[in-house]
Amino acid sequence: MSGDRTYRIMISGGGTGGHIYPAISIANALKENYPSTEFLFVGAKGRMEMEKVPEAGYKIVGLWISGLQRSLKLSNLMFPLKVVVSILKSFYLLRKFRPDVVVGVGGYASGPMLFAATKRGIPTLIQEQNGYAGLTNKLLAKRVDKICVAYDGMSRFFPKDRIISTGNPVRNDLLNVDEKKAQGLAHFGFDSGKKTLLVIGGSLGARTINNALAEGVERLLAQGFQVLWQTGKIYIDEMLERTAALTSPSLKVLPFIKEMDLAYAAADVIISRAGASSISELCLVGKPVIFVPSPNVAEDHQTKNALAMVSKEAAEHVSDQVAGQHLVNESILLLMDEDRQHLLINNMKKLGKPNAAKDIAREIIQLVKA
């Protein structure tokens, strides 16, 4: 059902694909039901949202904001100034755009923007992707009107009366990948008679996963498997150099895969980090997964995410510390074990929430009408 008025929605946050793609999915869901909705995204200057959001067809402006570095660096001395400047610009953007609702999806830009919105009395909603809440969302929790979450037990971080369980939004093109298998294999030039391993280390790449594949990909090819490998932009040159002697058509090494629906469709087994958005996508895709959680995240929340899936027999887990020794071996074992694949697929699909973006969009519109 479409609305008859023009809503003005501001969406703030980013930093990684795990924040950016849910934000875009929420905007797409709103636009589907309310085509005249006007959007303004607010990100952090120099971060990937400044590129990915315009690619999706939405306008974005950047704040001069970044996080505190864990090590002692001179850039940390600029942090208080960046916060003040970003809050002032946030007030300016609110006056200029006049949003009905401001949505935060986590990341550096979300903090100043949502803080300014709550100060102005504008309705606000935040979306937390992980089972362990991010610092920005924890700081905002008592100020905002609604908090949409994907995991149980989030009342240990947020006021219980503001929590709404929706799941994480994912891209619509991932909802029916089973129907695209032939198309996916053809797109990447793969043989329909061979099993395919998809390797993704998140939008920025993952050194541990890349190193494990660089050492072991020849064994995968020798076993008759195909490998579709997203390295991340910063690792592509090194990985291409390390695999230069392998000229097999069964190996595709790419910096970034834009057509993720086709990549998922082509895959029989997937290696992935265990970010919340990745897990939400994979639950809908319904393919056997080996999670290699990143150890470089707050409170080791990716390991918690992965082990929650393992406890439901919905995925396999190889720790980052032992991936170099075991990841390729585990991949070969899973590629050869179709019974295990079917068990993981069935249990994974039970956990998917295909309507998350629509449910969050509905909560946003309810705030406008309140």
Q: Dihedrals φ, ψ of 119, to 5°?
A: -65, -35
- The answer to whether 18 is a known ligand-binding residue is yes
Mark out the alpha helices in the chain (DSSP H runs): 17-33, 49-55, 79-97, 110-119, 135-140, 181-187, 207-222, 236-242, 260-266, 276-285, 301-311, 323-336, 338-349, 356-369
Name the pairing type of β-strands 8-12 and 289-291.
unpaired
Edge to edge, the sheet with strand 316-317 lists: 251-254, 226-230, 196-200, 269-272, 289-291, 316-317
* Alpha-carbon distance values, 351 to 141, 215, 274, 317 (Å): 26, 33, 15, 17
Q: In this structure, are residues 231 and 254 in contact, taking their beta carbons and an 8 Å threshold? A: yes
DSSP 289-351: EEE---SSSGGGHHHHHHHHHHHTTS-EE--GGGHHHHHHHHHHHHHH-HHHHHHHHHHHHTT
To the nearest 10°, report the CA torsion of 236, 23, 63, 235: -10
Contacts of 275 (CB under 8 A, 6+ apart): 16, 18, 129, 130, 202, 294, 302, 305
- The answer to whether 250 is a known ligand-binding residue is no
- The answer to whether 16 is a known ligand-binding residue is yes
User: What is the Cα 79 distance to its own chain's centre?
Assistant: 26
Q: In this structure, are residues 27 and 101 in contact, taking their beta carbons and an 8 Å threshold? A: no
- The answer to whether 66 is a known ligand-binding residue is no
- The answer to whether 230 is a known ligand-binding residue is no
Contacts of 16 (CB under 8 A, 6+ apart): 48, 107, 202, 203, 204, 275
Distance in angstroms (rounded) separating the CA atoms of residues 29 and 15: 21
- The answer to whether 111 is a known ligand-binding residue is no
- Which residues carry a binding-site annotation for UDP-N-acetyl-alpha-D-glucosamine? 16-18, 130, 171, 203, 257, 302
Bind-site residues: 16-18, 130, 171, 203, 257, 302
